[in-house]
Amino acid sequence: MVHKIMKINPRYYPVILLITFVLFVLLGILLGFRPQHGNGNHESYMLMFTQYAINGLGAIV
Amino acid sequence: MTAATKNNKGKPYSLARSRRIIQRLAVVGAFTIGLRHILPGESGVGGSFDAFCVFGGVETFLPCLFKGSTLKATNLLNFTMLLGALGVSLVAGRAFCGWLCPLGAVQDMFAGWVRRLSGGENHIRGKRSQARFPLTLPPAADKPLRYAKYLVLVVILIASLYTVYPPLHEFCPMRAVFSLNLTPLLWAVLVLFIVGALLVERFWCKYFCPLGALLAIFNKISPVRIVSSDHCNNCGRCDIECSMAIEDVPLNLNNPECVRCMECLETCARDGSLELKVLKP
């Protein structure tokens, strides 16, 4: 496979990393993975949805 | 390549310096989280120290998926931290290990200190340090040991389905170094971690880090990567600088062991030999 490549200035590399990290952390918070009080056993609607989807796919297969 | 290009004020730009600053910030951040949870009245605020652990997200992922709840001492925030690390890896491979991981930063600091204390300076670009430590393990021991981290990852993933606490919880070097709330077992882990980091550069990352094992996969697919060209004359400067002791760096730029610290790019003296590029499929 042929890849076209674009050169980037190395000085932007740290900025790329930091911005990517912050954006994905924000995405996590928006998805509902927020800090919670208490000692474990936390539930997430996002994960419950994924779990139901996996169970549903399993049932179909 | 010439990462040491000059900025507007005429001061040379250094990727290595930027990395050191970011690493120190990561270490200070980790210590702050650890300190916050041992101060009176602060322990109940926000998530626990473990809630900020990137690997905690991996440990509690399967229980969350199959049992519907997180393991004890973990938190949904672990998934956010993990997502941050996976995002960086998706873009730039194992760069999280080389730039943002506080444990990697501590090991880099130890390697620098032990070099100075054992009769040498840090590598001066293109010239190997004469220091006796840190050591390089012989290939017969080094190569098989590199696979240990993958085994650790698999064991932890399987064990996470049968445990109440995260499997690595009581042996976690991250807790040992930064949590400031140590059990006797964590003291032992701390001592072993320090001794390992002083003897072998990035000892934990090379041989045992399960998060590194997971993120290593992304080195093969990430679009932002170093590319070598025909200009390279195999002078070996990049081999000297590599903290992960990768052999023939220009030929192994996407090696799963590479933590994308960019020291090879920084040290390269031939213009255009190594370049940072974005691959477009």
Residue B50 resides in a domain: yes
A60 CA: distance to closest CA in chain B (Å): 18
Burial of B223 (0-12, 13-18, 19+ CB in 10 A): middle
Both B95 and B139 in one domain: the answer is yes
H or E element, residue B8: none
> What are φ and ψ of residue B6, in 5° steps?
-95, 140
Instruction: Give the range among B25-29, B104-108, B131-135, B258-262 with minimum mean pLDDT.
Output: B131-135
Residue B113 resides in a domain: yes
Both B124 and B148 in one domain: the answer is yes
Enumerate the residues of chain A whose CB falls inside 8 A of the CB of residue B3: 10-11
Domain interval for residue B264: 224-278
Both B46 and B107 in one domain: the answer is yes
Contact A11 B15 (CB under 8 A): yes
What is the side-by-side order of every strand in the sheet holding B224-228?
A: A4-7, B274-280, B224-228
Q: pLDDT tens-digit profile of B168-203?
A: 999 999 999 998 888 999 999 999 999 999 999 999
Both B129 and B229 in one domain: the answer is no
Contact B47 A21 (CB under 8 A): no
B54 CA: distance to closest CA in chain A (Å): 11
Mean per-residue pLDDT, B138-154:
95
Residue B234 resides in a domain: yes
- A/B interface, count of CB pairs below 8 Å: 146
Of B167 and B9, more confident = B167
Final residue of a structural domain among B218, B250, B269: B218
Query: How much is the pLDDT for B1?
Result: 47
Indicate the residue of A25, A31, A36 with minimum beta-carbon distance to B47. A36
Q: pLDDT tens-digit profile of B107-122?
A: 999 999 998 888 776 6
ipTM of the complex: 0.90
Both B119 and B170 in one domain: the answer is yes
Nearest Cα to B55, choosing from B221, B257, B209? B209
Indicate the residue of B83, B99, B278 with minimum beta-carbon distance to A8. B278
Residue B40 has pLDDT above 80, yes or no: no
Indicate the residue of A25, A50, A54 with minimum beta-carbon distance to B83. A25
Q: What are the residues of chain A with a beta carbon less than 8 Å away from any beta carbon of chain B?
A: 1, 3-11, 13-14, 16-18, 20-25, 27-29, 31-37, 39-44, 47-48, 50-51, 54
Domain count, chain B: 2
B92 touches chain A (CB under 8 A): yes
Return per-residue pLDDT of chain A as tens, 61 residues.
Answer: 546 688 999 999 999 999 999 999 999 999 988 876 555 455 555 666 666 676 777 777 6
Query: How much is the pLDDT for B269?
Result: 87
Tell me the three state secondary structure of residue B156.
helix
Place of tokens 């995002």: B87
For chain A, the structural domain boundaries read 11-35+44-60
Q: pLDDT tens-digit profile of B148-173?
A: 999 999 999 999 999 999 999 999 99
